[in-house]
Structure formats: C-alpha cells, structure tokens
Structure 1
C-alpha cells in the first residue's frame, strides 16, 4: 500500500533469513531493479528446486511496472516493500504461489491492476489470495475501532478459505513493523503497534510461528510502552554485565551433562527472555523483575522423541526441579501443533540461578519457529497437509464467533478472548481431549464440545463430583456435562465465561430473547394506546407509517416502542398526521388506583433521590434493582420513571436518547427511618441443585430465616440427579439478598446460586 510505513532502500542478503539490510536511501535505477530479484530467486531455489522461478520473475516485473512512480514516505521506490515481503515468505520456505502473492499483494489495492488480469496471468488461486489480503488492507489505516473489527472479520473469512492469506499478511505486517520507526505521526505508529499486539501477534502464535510472534511483540511493545521496554532492557544489560559469560557457561554445562549420560545432543542454545515476555509475566504474576525465575531460557535439541525424555531425566537428576514449571507439550501438544518439554530448575553452585529448559527434537523446533509454514503445507500443485487440518480447528471456532456476534466490535472482543491465554487440557467421559483457555469453566467446556451441548447445559460433574458451572477447570479434569431438552443458556453465564465462542453464543441468545420480549411489549403498548385514542390499528396500517418514522420493519417499530425510544404518540402522528390538529378536550390522567399496587408505586418514589413527588415510579422487571445497587432512571412518556440498574443491558438501546436518562439514587435516610414499613423488592435467583425435595424445603426455610420471602419458585429443568430452579425473593435491600445467596450456597446439595440480572 502506498500509505504503509516508509522504509530505506533494502538489499536482501541471501541466507539472511529474510532480514533485509538497510542501505543509504540513494534510490534504485532500472538496472538495479532488474537485478534486485536475483537474491530472492536464489533463496527459493535453495529449498525448492522445482519452483517456477520464471513465474516469480514475471510477478516481480509486473509489480515493478504496477508500482512505478510510487514511493514510500522516505522517497524510496515502493517496490522495496513487496520485495522484502517476498523475502520473508521465502525465509518461511513457502510455495511459489505465496511468493508471487507477496510480490503482488498491494497491486490491486494501490494500482490499476485488476484481479481479473492477475487471474489470467497467474491463475485463480493466486488471484484469490491477493483478493483476501487486499480486503484486509483497505481498512487498516482507519483508527475507528469498528473499522478495525470489520477488517479483522474479513481476515477470519479469508484465512478460513486459505491459510496462506494469513501467512502473507503476517509477512507483510512483519516488514511494516521492522520499518515502523520511519512513521513520523505518533498516533498512527501507536495504532499500528497496538493492533499488532492485539491481533497479529496472537494469530502468529495460533499458527505456531513463534519467531514471528516474538519479533512482532517486541517491536510493538517498544512503541506502546517505551519506558517499560527501556527499563527492562536496562535491567537485562545490568544482569549481563554482572554475569558476563553466564549463558555460555550454563549452555556448556547442560550439553556436557547430557553427553556424559549418553544422550545425543544436536544443539544447546541459551537466550534471555524477550522484554515483552518479561513484561507480560510480571503483570500476570504480579511480581517484580527480581522474582522471575525464567529470565534465562535454554533449548536442548535432540534427535528423537525418546531422547527428549532421556535429556529431561538427566537435567532433573542434576538440578532441583521447580515443580510448578514443568509442562509436557509433547504428549499433549498445543492447538497450534507446538511440541516441547518445558521445565524449570535451580542450578547448583554459587550462582543459584533459576532457569527454564526447553527440550525438543529438530522437527519440533522447526514447527515451533515457523508453525504451519515449517511443514511447507502447500507443495507445488498440492493443498493443506491433512496432518494440519485438525490444528486449524480454532479458525472454525472464530467463524462460529463471527456467526453469533451481534456486530464487528463484539466479534473483535470475543475473538481476543479466543486468541489469548494459556491452555488447560480436559477430557470428556469417553476420553476425548478438549483444550481450553486457562480459567475456563464447565460451560466453556460444553460449548467447546458442541454449541447445542452448551445451550442445553444444566449442570456438570468434574471427576465424578457435582460442581458449580462457574468453577474453573484444571489440567486433567474429566468433565461430564448434564443437559436437558428444551434448556436454554442463562444470561448469568456471561459473567464467568472465558472463551469467546461461548460468550458470543450466550450474548446472541440473550439479545434475541430481549428483542422478542421488547417486540411483544411494543406491540401490546401500541394496541392499547391506539384503542384508547379510538384509532383503528393493524399491521397493514402500521406498515404504511414505517417510512415516516423511519423504520425498516414492523418488528423494528415494535422494538423501538417497547424500549421507549419511540413514543406511541409519534406512531399515531405517522399514521394520522392531522392528529395534533384535532380539537379535543385535554386528556385527564386518572389518579393512581387504590390498593396495594398503587401504594407500592407511590411509595417507591419516596425512597429515591432525584424524582419529584407525584411521579409514578416502576422498578424495571429486566434487572430488578434493589437498594444498594447503582441505579439510573429512564423517563417514559405517559408512564412516569422506570428505575434500572446502571449496567442493565436494556439501557444500551436507549443510549441515543440521553435526554431520557435521569440521575437517581436511593434515599438511605428514608429507607433507614421507615422501619417495618420499608418497601420490599424482588430479587431473582438461579439455583442449580440436586433433584431432591428436601433441597427445596431447605431453601424456602433459609430464605425466611434470613428475612426474605419466596414469592415465586419455578423448576426450569429437571433431570434424574439435578434440577435448575428460578427463585423470586422479596427482600429489603441488596445486602439481605446477598446474605440469602451465601446461605443457599452453603446448603448441602446446592451446586450453584446466581442472581439474575439483565
């Protein structure tokens, strides 16, 4: 793209692993442009003698011609960027099609070249990948979060069809990050760096490209957190000075120990952790720099899998093991195919240094460095290696999130949940391995098995024991999900779900339920108001008024009336524009009826600050606010004020009508002085418990004992050994409800208790 970060003139040195060497920006003349492709061709031929080098040469010539006259911000010919991207891809040992796409990836976006012409010259496959990458770049320069989310949505769709779209995109982003320092506008530089940390580095990790992930993270971190980056680098320099030669001494010691024990070692390397990795561990563990035990990491490469465990035995035999630091990713690989043994040990001697040791085979190391690309999955004329198909299941999970998310911004949020976090490995009763993010719950597990299993989940047993649905799972747990026909997701689940897939599914269900309820409410409100005004109403009559309101459909109109964003009188005016001109006596609003219902409405306002006397007050049935909750009032024309909890989901639909929001709060003095006459409010609980009538009796008695009163109890789902109950409790305030919840949770046979709020 012509607007990408500027770069100096680059000469790529053969054998440099795709790292371009910067030269003085003298510009490239035509002969130099022709010769610039030769090192790339040599690099490709070195690992793929069968490659169609002539096609690569033609693609380069076309790119030079298409980008003629275009320059990067520093005045260099733009062709230096796609050439560098192609070198990065060659460093990944990618196929000819990917190299060609690397050379042409910006042509459709920034030049007059069309996809049709590309297809004619290089085939449909090449044109499709260029199209996929092009769709991703069109929105990248927008700073708006929705644009970023939409861009990422397109990335998921494109890479689900061909993973090479992602690999080319990562090569493109890697070169742009290497030249990010040439971007003079700070806000743009920070946006690119944050986007890299949020999206591209996690994606590189997901396809196992650890080397790319680390470089992206370190460059982005230096731009986003320059002070933290400088501090960590200064501390590393200080340690380096204190222990000059320490890494080499430890490296030699580990190699000698293995060889002395008869374990063949191909290579032992040592390195410091990257600044970003150190920063993340300091934040995650909430520890100081000095408390980290694995600032230095050593890698032992051996010939085969058996030697990995033999080397592990040697290391543990010579040095005390740090129990919490051992992980076996060989027997249980990560989703991206990563395999290695990780262990932490404390070295003997005066140094008493804690280090991390990684042990793997040469093939595992290639996979760890370049992931999918290391397999060279796309042979000439071939497709994705069958052995990798299972490892790409996460792409399907992202597509599921895309389908269930309500909009691009929510999709981006849920996808970040899916991309981040360490893993735990759990098992179904039949022994199927399910990998989940750390902190995942049985509900996350249920959705990982299948979306319908998650939707119908009513309980869970972990290792044979009934547990709350919000309990985090541990490595090795066997999880049995209990389901019930007709069961539906609970809105309360969202507060403890960890995986983006599960959260997107629950949010979609809740949104649909709320919309249906809002539509029904709006329809009944319109019918009532039209009848009061003696105006005929029907779907046909209302459809004629949609254009004047304006609304796309009747459901949209009913929903707008139901959530109070359109007043019924506005609908009447749309149906009968002369409605205001009618001469009619002013309408008299009758006084509140007598009896308990009217008294409770009048009394509710007396215990609130910010609402004038005589105003009718309703407590929202969606979120059921209690004294002690943070609240907000919503002015509803003809219906007084409805009080919601400040984080009620239904308030989102009213955000465009800020004039209807009213600052209200509980009058604690009035509540305290009211004594026994204080109003009582209803809180709703969801309870999962053993299917035993004694449990129901115990819950009712406990509620009474703690000052609450059960006004409604409904069994939503019932199975042989478990049931889900909906309990409505009358209480004085939030504190009393929390006391009852705590008592319920301590009751034998009760697995889970949650307050239900919108």
Structure 2
C-alpha cells in the first residue's frame, strides 16, 4: 500500500470525529514530515515516515485532537532533519511547535542505567507534562510503536529500551489511566526482556484456555440468562490475563500458574451507573460473593479516574472475578486522560473530574520537585506515586482521600495541606486517639489535631510513604537545621572571640568578608553555619577574624590552654536545642552532670559527661571540646539507665516500678537479668529531670527491703 493511501486511510478514520479543515491540517503535517524525512529509513527497512504515521494512528484511535496528531507526524523533524522549531511555528502555529519541541526533548532523554541520569531525566519529563500533558501522550504513542517494532534493534539497545519502558513509561501510562497502552507496553517490555518466559506463559495460557472453554461458556451463559431474566442491559466480555501480570503474580506473590489461572474473569458493560448496581445484585443472587473482595470504585474512583465495581464470586467450584462498568467508564479505564479529548465536545462530569485529578497529580509532582534538593531525592519521592496500591479514608466532613497502601495519618495530613502536616501533633481514627505512625485502613475516618508552633518530627521520615509528606518534612528539617546551625555557630564563635578579648559586634564587615573569601564560602552566615554543624572550628575562625583574615598558624596548641582553663567561658545548654545538639548514648548525661560538647562533623554537637571514657585523650582532640553549663530552668526529661540488684521475691518488680512512680519518675524500659535462684539484676531505663530528681528516684528504690544495691549505668 502506498504512503498516499495510508495517509488517506488515516484521514477517513479521522472523519468520524474531526472536521475537514482539521483533517487537512493533519494531512499537511504528514506531507511536510514526508519531505523532511525523505531518504531516511528505519532499521526494519521501511521508509521513516511510516513511524510518525503509525504514531498518529495510535493517537487517532484515542480520538486525540488535531494538534496532537500533527505533533505526532512531526515529532522527529526537529531532531532528525535539522529543521528548527521556528520554521514549524511559522508553518503550523505555536502550539504544535511547542508540542513537537517537548516530545523532541523527551526523545533526547537517555534513561541510562545510572540512577542519577534516570532521575534527572524523569524530572525533565515532569516539567514537560506540567506544561502540556499532550506531550507525554504523543511520547507514549511513539514508545508504543517503537516497542511493537523493536525486533531489528541490536540486543543491548532492545534490553535498554524494554527496561526503560517497564520502569518509566508503563507506570506513567497507568498513572494517567491509560490501561490499554500501559498493559501493551508491559507485555511488550516483558517479552523483550524475557522472551523464553513470555513464550512459555503464552503457550500455557493458550493450552489452559482451550481446556477451560466449556466452563467459561457455561458461566457466561448463566450470567447472560440472569441479566435477561431481570431485564438488565449488559454486554458480557471475557477478560484476558496479561503475560506480565501473570509473571509478576508468580514472582512477587509466589502463586503458581494454575492458582492464577483458576480465576475466571468477566467484564459486564452496561448503560448507566444505576444499572451497574442492579447488575451487581443480580450476579450476587446467582453466585455467592467472597467476603472482603468487593470494591466500589464508582463511588470512590482511583487517583487516575478509573471507575468500576469489582466483585469475586464462588461458583461452579471456581472463583469468578467480575467488573461492572458503563461504556464511558470503560473508555476512561482504557484511555484515561486521553478520554478527555474523546468527550471534549460533550458535557461529561466524569471527564472533568478525571482531568482535575491528573492536573492535581502533575501539580503535586511540581511541588515535590521544588522542594527536592536533587533529582535522586525527587525520583525517590515520586516512585510511590507511580506505583500506588490505594487505601481510601475519609476526612471528618466526609471528603474521600485516596492514599497509597501503608500510608499513615502523617501522610493523610500532608495530603490535605502542607501546613496541616507541619503542625500535626496527634490524630483520631474513627474518633479514638491513635498513633501518627499507624498504617491507615480503607473506610476509616481520620482527624488531624494540630498545634500552633508545632514542627515535623525527624522520626516521621521512618514511616511516611507519600512523596509529598517525605519532601515536605525534609524541606522543613533542612530549613530548621540551617537556623539551628546558625544559632549554635554564633554562640560558639562569640565564646571563642571572648578568649581573644574581642566581640562579634566589633568585627567590621570588611574583616568578615576577608575571612569569607579565605575560607572559600559564599557568605559569613555559611561560615557560621559550618561552625554549628561541626565542619569548622570556632576558635580558628575567631583567630582569623581577630588577626585580619588569614592567620592559620599554630592552630592547635596556642588555644588548648585557654580551653582547658575555661577562659572562653562555658556555653549554656537547655537540653532542647533540637536537631544539632544530641546527648551521647554512651554516658547519658543529665542536668547537673558536669558536661562537655564535642563537635561531630556535619551533625552539630554531641554532649558527653566530662568523665566519659569515649572523650579524646590527645591534645588536638581536647582542643575540640567545648565546656558547657546547664540552664537553671530545664523542664525536659532525660533517659538514665539504672542497675538494681535485689533478692528475688514475689511482687518485687512491681514494688520497684511503684517506687519510681512515687518519685515522679517515668519508666521507659524494664528488663530482668537472672543471676541465680536467690538474687536477680533488674535493668531500668527511667526518665528524670536532672541529678536531684535522679537522687530522689534512687533513694526510693534503695529503700525497698529486697534491694541490695543500685547504681547508675554508664558505658
């Protein structure tokens, strides 16, 4: 068939939904591309123009608008023929030129196996989607045709393209609700990567389908009979299981091939939403539904706009999976966001909602991108959004929120609004107080309790699952760490300057700038922040400031004496300094203990008891210590470990716990280490306010008759 006939064949297909002037514009784009690609051939030996034409045909099946079809015809022109974007803009208008440019940029993206390259390019893709979602639709059609014609490519290139398709393009198609394209990409990718496995599964499916044909026809007949009996409209279709999905279930869910294939799957397409629920009642009266296997995606659509009723029945000694949906839902299930153009001229509430969902998702991606420090962090946040396994929960006002499986109340709070997530302190699930780290279940009502001035807890990062929550928490923590490192750095610098008989307010801007230049940092604040993080020594920066900017001589010895005799003055700590002041787990210092601080590179200050064995012995190490004193009004609690030796008798552990409680102590952990039949040792971790409080707790425990000895444990 000639190219002329092929483009005319496409034109006649387009006649079903585009007017003649728009079809002519698509035709014109075809002839322009044909001329531009003249003489170019594909690996298969076909003329190059057959590829853009095939891509346009895929989009025509999705009933996309004429600009997308023109962009499909021209999508390789900028890259492969050297025709500039401006020339396309002149010929076909700004919108088409922008689309072609966007697709060209995506085509240049090489998703190499190196994770950074992959992540960076995914970011570019997100930006292109945010500007015009049609860019990704043309790209998906381009990828689909390339996957269909992958055969003649060299082995290495086939493997790379197939991996990239399964990792990036198929999940994006799925997230945009384009099920038909997503499953075809998955199956083609799987067949390219694992040709033997694909052939084996395919043969096994054909064989099984042949032997099960009678059962399938019998079930279909009974369903049809039931619908006719109740006068319900509905087309019953068999549903094929896809090779990639069978393989993944075998691999990740450890199911045997026969376990997967012993489920008979049908889809019933009907006219109205009302009919869907009536048909559900009819099939449930025919066969018994399996408990817990019913899902109502009509009332609660998936994030990509998918709607359907799912139920699993038990009949004829087999499980029967049934999906019930309307024609419009079927279109959206197969074509997702592309269905937006299909119904563009008709008023369709479902499509508007679907479009809004995709817009919200792309906007969410943009937010995450703004907060992420680098592309690796960005792709880590986005991956969970591309592979969601949803739970549906309610706000107290009845709004439905869709979250990935394993999401917690913190994820829920950030999904509502970043500010609510940042200020969350507690939550209620179904009106009962619950933990913020508890995974949510579908159907729960979640209420977030906030407090003014509350801040995200770094521990949240260990259990949140959504990209938005993770990126928002990290963003706040980075900002907070910066503020705290500035404050701690300023305190340490002032103390060091005091040792040189100077004050920070006496240092001129010119002196500061000299030191900034000498240390090769961007600003004086960066230098001070580095001191707070433990990356620079305060007394060295102080010496440079006093001596005019570059004096590094004798950086260790001349200052050690000053530190030893405390001439610099001690730094006051409150115990609540936040991210950059940590208490050593080896000696567990508490208010009242003599303490020193040692800077830990990049992480701020670690506070040790001044008798701790872990402190450095050498002069250079001692130079890094900071003398500290406790503030007078500390109300925080601190952990202390106690070792209690006692005679074993009934109820003695309860007596110890009661004694701690009577002294207003709070037990964090209690464990018994038996020595022999008569004596035992109890290890006790208690929260106290300081040394006096600890003495009170120890006195109470010592007064128990069975206790023979009590001591504080320091490792």
Name the structure 2 match of 1:376: 341
Which of residues 261, 277, 282 in structure 2 aligns to 1:314? 282
Report if the CA contact (8 A) 2:409-2:448 is conserved: yes
Name the structure 2 match of 1:613: none
Name the structure 2 match of 1:359: 324
Inter-partner Cα distance in structure 2 for 1:121 and 1:489? 54
Pick closer, same or farther for the CA change 1:254–1:624 going to 2, 3 Å: farther
**How far 1:65 moved relative to its partner?**
2.6
Pair 1:196-2:161 in alignment: no
Which of residues 112, 127, 139 in structure 2 aligns to 1:169? 139
**How far 1:383 moved relative to its partner?**
13
**How far 1:492 moved relative to its partner?**
0.9
Pair 1:459-2:426 in alignment: yes
Residue-by-residue CA offset, 1:403-431 (whole Å, 9 max, x unaligned): 22221111111111122122222111111
Inter-partner Cα distance in structure 1 for 2:398 and 2:408? 18
Inter-partner Cα distance in structure 2 for 1:406 and 1:181? 40
Which of residues 101, 105, 112 in structure 2 aligns to 1:131? 101
Pair 1:710-2:687 in alignment: yes
Inter-partner Cα distance in structure 2 for 1:388 and 1:127? 27
Pick closer, same or farther for the CA change 1:233–1:386 going to 2, 3 Å: closer
Count of residue pairs brought into register by the alignment:
616
Pick closer, same or farther for the CA change 1:159–1:642 going to 2, 3 Å: farther
Report if the CA contact (8 A) 1:634-1:642 is conserved: no
Pair 1:514-2:481 in alignment: yes
Pick closer, same or farther for the CA change 1:94–1:676 going to 2, 3 Å: same
Name the structure 2 match of 1:495: 462
Which of residues 293, 305, 315 in structure 1 aligns to 2:273? 305
Report if the CA contact (8 A) 1:519-1:562 is conserved: yes
Report if the CA contact (8 A) 1:418-1:501 is conserved: no
Name the structure 1 match of 2:575: none
Which of residues 289, 308, 313 in structure 2 aligns to 1:345? 313
Which of residues 292, 298, 323 in structure 2 aligns to 1:330? 298
**How far 1:711 moved relative to its partner?**
4.3
Pair 1:114-2:91 in alignment: no
Inter-partner Cα distance in structure 2 for 1:290 and 1:378? 41
Report if the CA contact (8 A) 1:258-1:264 is conserved: yes
Residue-by-residue CA offset, 1:618-659 (whole Å, 9 max, x unaligned): 789779899xxxxx999999447999xxxxxxxxxxxxxxxx
Inter-partner Cα distance in structure 1 for 2:624 and 2:480? 20
Residue-by-residue CA offset, 1:234-259 (whole Å, 9 max, x unaligned): 54345335435544443334323322
Name the structure 2 match of 1:746: none
**How far 1:514 moved relative to its partner?**
2.3
Report if the CA contact (8 A) 2:493-2:539 is conserved: no
Inter-partner Cα distance in structure 2 for 1:163 and 1:634? 59
Report if the CA contact (8 A) 1:294-1:356 is conserved: no
- Secondary structure of 2:15's counterpart equals helix
**How far 1:190 moved relative to its partner?**
3.6
Long gaps (5+) in structure 2: 571-581, 589-596, 609-613, 626-640, 646-659, 671-682, 695-715
Name the structure 1 match of 2:233: 264
Residue-by-residue CA offset, 1:252-311 (whole Å, 9 max, x unaligned): 34323322333222x222133112223444455454444447754211112222222222
Which of residues 155, 162, 179 in structure 1 aligns to 2:125? 155
Which of residues 31, 39, 47 in structure 2 aligns to 1:77? 47
Pair 1:239-2:239 in alignment: no
- Shifted more, 412-421 versus 103-112: the winner is 103-112
Inter-partner Cα distance in structure 1 for 2:87 and 2:211? 61
Report if the CA contact (8 A) 2:537-2:624 is conserved: no
Residue-by-residue CA offset, 1:468-526 (whole Å, 9 max, x unaligned): 01112222211111011111111111111121111111111122222333344455556
- Shifted more, 241-250 versus 59-68: the winner is 241-250
Report if the CA contact (8 A) 2:667-2:687 is conserved: no
Which of residues 356, 363, 366 in structure 2 aligns to 1:390? 356
Inter-partner Cα distance in structure 2 for 1:252 and 1:383? 34
Name the structure 2 match of 1:656: none
Inter-partner Cα distance in structure 2 for 1:138 and 1:590? 62
Report if the CA contact (8 A) 2:563-2:623 is conserved: no
Inter-partner Cα distance in structure 2 for 1:91 and 1:37? 14
Name the structure 1 match of 2:10: 40
Inter-partner Cα distance in structure 1 for 2:76 and 2:605? 51
Name the structure 2 match of 1:19: none
Report if the CA contact (8 A) 1:421-1:437 is conserved: yes
TM-score (norm 1): 0.71
Pick closer, same or farther for the CA change 1:260–1:287 going to 2, 3 Å: same
Name the structure 2 match of 1:183: 153
Which of residues 59, 68, 76 in structure 1 aligns to 2:29? 59
- Secondary structure of 2:521's counterpart equals coil
- Secondary structure of 2:305's counterpart equals coil
Pick closer, same or farther for the CA change 1:566–1:247 going to 2, 3 Å: farther
* CA RMSD, Structure 1 to Structure 2 (Å): 4.4
Inter-partner Cα distance in structure 2 for 1:512 and 1:605? 29
Residue-by-residue CA offset, 1:423-463 (whole Å, 9 max, x unaligned): 22211111112111122111111111111111111111111
Report if the CA contact (8 A) 2:52-2:75 is conserved: yes
Which of residues 184, 202, 211 in structure 1 aligns to 2:180? 211
Name the structure 2 match of 1:682: none
Inter-partner Cα distance in structure 2 for 1:132 and 1:636? 61
Rg larger in structure: 2
- Shifted more, 369-378 versus 67-76: the winner is 67-76
Report if the CA contact (8 A) 1:567-1:637 is conserved: no
Pick closer, same or farther for the CA change 1:93–1:251 going to 2, 3 Å: same
Report if the CA contact (8 A) 2:175-2:304 is conserved: yes
Which of residues 431, 441, 446 in structure 1 aligns to 2:398? 431
